[in-house]
Structure 1
Amino acid sequence: MHSDGLNTVRELVDRAIELGLDFLAVTDHNTNTHHEDLAALSDLPIILIPGEEVTTYWGHANTWGLREWVEYRCADQGSMAAVQRFIAEKGGLFSINHPKCVGPPWLFNGWEGFQSMEVWQAMWRFYNWESLERWDNLLQRGERVVAVGGSDTHSIPPAEPRHPHGLAEPTTWVYADEASEAGVLAAIRAGHAFVTDSPERGSSLVISADENGDGRYEKMMGDEVGGGVVRFRVQVSGGFERRLWLIADGEPFDIIPLETNEATLDFSLDVSGRRYVRAELRGRRGRPERGEVVWAMTNPIWVAQE
């Protein structure tokens, strides 16, 4: 209710707790007046992350972890770069939002310098393949941008629904060293994260790597491995009658039909000359003639560059 949403902050937080979320970021357009509401709810069993959706005529971007207002009147690449520097100096995270035709799209010339990108916003069929393609293009150029998902929720019951999806659709999952705001944001910075369609439908997807051959698979999403042949492991939940896509540098090198709900797949790959390896879980949803959607996706494991 602080910008264009129909719910109180308390209603959003209560729903997040009901869904079993461990953390929730709330970002209103060009204001931080909701931060006071979040602070008043700090005793609840959930990590609440304050933010702002910096909303311009040329694109939107989220800040996370700041307790102050961020300038949004950006009319060119220079002014947006100044906002980037301000957020970096304050220790916040900055993420490009919904860079797709129905986003609204990202029209600034610069894509560099952002720590993360909302690669998946709302339901997958809301043109998220466009954001995915733009993200993959950045990764291939050597930009280590972390993929996150955001529901962009503007209304949930008891307010009148404005869209067919709800809070946490999609959901960003992180491997955090501690259960705190700092821990969650550090995990996102590190790329220790994957995204699924929701917290309720049982999908998960994790890729790890055994760089030194000791069987420990000590490297996870966001980490870096050296060149040569590397052993990888992908762990899937919610895979029945879906397909696992294994992707390197934007191109699938294997697509594996899954016949069980839970699956663990090990494979070796010569990563010499490549930049990254990641995974997606794809499958049918709704009418079969509409093709597959993404049910889950990982961030990349990076390959060290000489």
Structure 2
Amino acid sequence: MTVGMGVAGAAALTLSPVSFAQAADGSTGESPTSGDVTRVISGFLETGVADFVYLPVEIPAGVQKIAVSYSYDRPAVPSGTPGNSCDIGVFDERGIALGSRGFRGWSGGFRTSFEISNSEATPGYLPGPINAGTWNIILGPYQVAPQGLNYRVEVTLTYGEPGPAFVKNYPPQRAKGRGRDWYRGDCHLHTVYSDGKRLPAEVASGARAAGLDFMVSTEHNTSSSHAVWGQYAGQDLLIITGEEVTTRNGHWLALGLPAGEWIDWRYRSRDDAFARFSRQVRRSGGLVVPAHMYCAYVACQWKFGFEDADATEVWNGPWTYDDEHAVSTWDQKLGEAVRTGKRWLPAMGNSDAHRDGQVIGLPHNVVYADDLATDSIMDGIRAGRNWIAESSAVKLTFSATGNGKHAGIGEKLTVPAEAPVDIRLDVEGVPHGTVRFITDEGQMHQESVDASGSGTVVWRTTASLAAYVRAEVRHPMADGSPGQGNTMGDALLFGPMAALTNPVFLEATSTP
């Protein structure tokens, strides 16, 4: 066996190959023309093993289907000590190099078995020919108990003629929109094609029920669902293909990928590979978006920084303290951008819905785009021309007006430094909601709306006092109070978020 960094960014372990050209008794001969042949691979992994373990399997000619099942022990561990957890996937004869075209599927720890043939494959895996050569089953020992991890992998080859090729049905890149307008969409969703419980049909139906115009498919580490979404898209729902790239140092969304394109995840922040795959996404017109940066689950905390990001997810599912922390970090990044003149990072919010009880569209993005088309939606998010809503019942407009000029969300208003600028927010759908205006100096204005949930809040400032202004609309506190603010903008004094905007920027010029 060998240990090294060559096959992927993170450390990898490659075991000795298993051959199907050799019979169980050690004799060799021609491959059968029909029937099944099974080999069993078993072994032991110690605590501290490499991130990925490759089990090479020599596949002979004439194979119609490969089937793999696996199991591993789960010894008892002391409270607070991680127990065994091991993912699985497979690469074909084209190789396992980082970014390799040999990728044929990944199911993480969600499934204990999978099958691939020319005609079909288990969700998470790519149908196609079972060509002769060295395939690699990949184990991902996510956590290893102090006692180590015993694994058993069973590989069965079915010989025979390949069936008909799988017919891909990619979704169209355009739907019937309203021209230049605001479009609602959830950009982080899962189905049974990774670790979700819903079928694609159920997710598409849920997106429509939530009043969304578009959605993005983001399965963990696989593009396998892309080829089925065509039948669920329609003129009323744009379905965009993407991926949630699940690394050991955080998760990120690759949004707007060309259908069928896969993004590798086998690296850590120290491996200097994230920038490479960020460029791959951008070359295709897509977006790179760190997801749930403060999620408490193992390997979810974001460690790659934001230099190679196009936006960041600051609100993931029902509002929690993780989201408060993410918004605070994002706001700090906005302050850095205006101080240094560097590019600013737009905010996004998505449901990350996996199963019943997790609401599709809670939250979602409302994007100003030229059309209901993949490229237009990506352009709108990239420019920060979007705000985040908890549901389609929430409606909002936000703008800055001064010196005869007007700017909206994600735009810049250039005015004399002391010229009065009116910041205006109109909101519907948040009964007793509290509106907060936040600048680079913190919260500067707070005002509540009445029981109708509708209201208009106007606040006056100048470009000399505020480099940007963003808005939040909060629900009342659990005790029914609207919450209290101070100049430090302590968000813990407020109820859950109902809506959040990207900023309007104010730039001062010399007085004429």
Q: Give the structure-1-normalised TM-score.
A: 0.88
Q: How does 1:224-243 map to 2 (within 5 A)?
A: 224-227=412-415, 228=417, 229=419, 230-243=421-434
Q: Distance in 1 between matches of 2:320 and 2:305?
A: 26
In 1, the alpha carbon distance for the partners of 2:432 and 2:200 equals 38
Which one of the candidate residues 329, 335, 347 is aligned to 1:134? 329
2: distance between equivalents of 1:211 and 1:272?
13
* Equivalent residue pairs, number: 294
1:274 positional shift? 3.8
SS at match of 1:226: strand
Q: SS where residue 51 of structure 1 aligns?
A: strand
Q: 1-side partners of 2:193 and 2:295: how far apart?
A: 26
SS of aligned partner of 1:292: coil
Call closer, same or farther: CA 1:2–1:250 in 2, change over 3 Å: farther
Q: Give the alignment of 1:162-181 within 5 angstroms.
A: 165-181=358-374
Once residues 86 and 115 of structure 1 are traced to their aligned partners in structure 2, the CA distance between those partners, rounded to angstroms, is 13
Deviation (angstroms), 1:64: 1.0
Q: Of 260, 265, 268, which residue of structure 1 is paired with 2:457? A: 265
8 Å contact from structure 2 (residues 475, 495) kept in 1: yes
Match of 2:353 among 150, 153, 158: 153
Contact kept, 8 Å, 1:136 with 1:250, in 2: the verdict is no
Give the 5 Å matches for 1:59-78: 59-67=250-258, 68-77=261-270, 78=272
CA contact (8 A) 2:349 2:363 kept: yes
Q: 1:49 to 1:305 in 2, by over 3 A?
A: farther
Q: Which residue is 2:232 aligned to?
A: 41
Matches within 5 A, 1:114-125: 114-125=309-320
Q: Which residue does 1:80 correspond to in 2?
A: 274
Q: Is the 8 Å Cα contact of residues 200 and 232 (structure 2) preserved in structure 1?
A: no
Greater per-residue helix proportion: 1
Q: Which amino acid aligns with 1:185?
A: M
Query: Runs of at least 4 residues of structure 1 off by over 6 A?
Result: none
Bigger drift between 38-47 and 177-186 goes to 38-47
Q: What SS is found at the alignment partner of 1:136?
A: helix
Shift of 1:109: 4.5
Distance 1:84 1:303 in 2: 30
Q: CA deviation at 1:31?
A: 0.4
Amino acid corresponding to residue 281 of structure 2 in structure 1 = I
Q: Is the 8 A contact 2:425 2:458 kept in 1?
A: yes
Which residue identity is paired with 1:155?
R
Q: Equivalent residue for 2:301?
A: 106
Q: Deviations over 1:73-108 (max 9, x none)?
A: 122251111111221222111101001142664342
Q: Which stretch shifts more, 103-112 or 174-183?
A: 103-112
Q: Equivalent residue for 2:389?
A: 196
The letter of the residue matching 1:63 is A
Q: Which amino acid in structure 1 is aligned with residue 410 of structure 2?
A: G
SS of match in other structure, 1:205? strand
Task: Provide closer, same or farther for how the CA distance between residues 96 and 305 of structure 1 changes in structure 2, counting only shifts above 3 A.
Answer: farther
Q: For the residues of structure 2 that align with 1:94 and 1:75, how far apart are their CA atoms?
A: 16
Residue 139 of structure 1 aligns to a residue in which SS? helix
Q: Is the contact made by 1:206 and 1:298 (CA closer than 8 Å) also made in structure 2?
A: no
- CA apart distance, 1:226: 1.9
Identity %: 28
State the Cα deviation string for residues 255-279 of structure 1 (Å, max 9, x = none): 1122252222333211226431100
What amino acid sits opposite 2:394 in the alignment? S
Gaps of 5+ in 2: 1-191, 338-342, 482-492
Match of 2:264, SS state, is coil
| Cα offset, 1:288, TM superposition | 4.8
Q: Which residue of 1 aligns with 2:496?
A: 293
Per-residue deviation, residues 157-189 of structure 1 (Å, max 9, x unmatched): xxxx4xxx3111112111222122222211111
Bigger Rg, structure 1 or 2: 2
AA aligned to 1:138 is: K
Letter in 2 for 1:88: R
CA distance in 2, matches of 1:100, 1:264: 33
Q: 1:242 to 1:10 in 2, by over 3 A?
A: same
Determine helix, strand or coil for the equivalent of 1:284. Answer: coil
Deviation at 1:205, TM superposition (A): 2.9
1:26 offset after TM fit, Å? 1.3
Rounded Cα–Cα distance in structure 2 between residues aligned with 1:75 and 1:250: 35
**Aligned with 1:24 (options 200, 209, 215):** 215
User: Distance between the aligned counterparts of 2:378 and 2:304, measured in 1?
Assistant: 26
Superposition CA RMSD, Å:
2.2
- Residues of 1 paired with 2:439 and 2:477: CA distance? 25
* Greater relative contact order (CA < 8 Å, ≥ 6 in sequence): 1
Which secondary structure state, in structure 1, belongs to the residue aligned with residue 252 of structure 2?
strand
* Residues 16 and 250 (structure 1), Cα distance of their counterparts in 2 relative to 1, 3 Å cut: farther
Residue 324 of structure 2 aligns to a residue whose secondary structure is helix
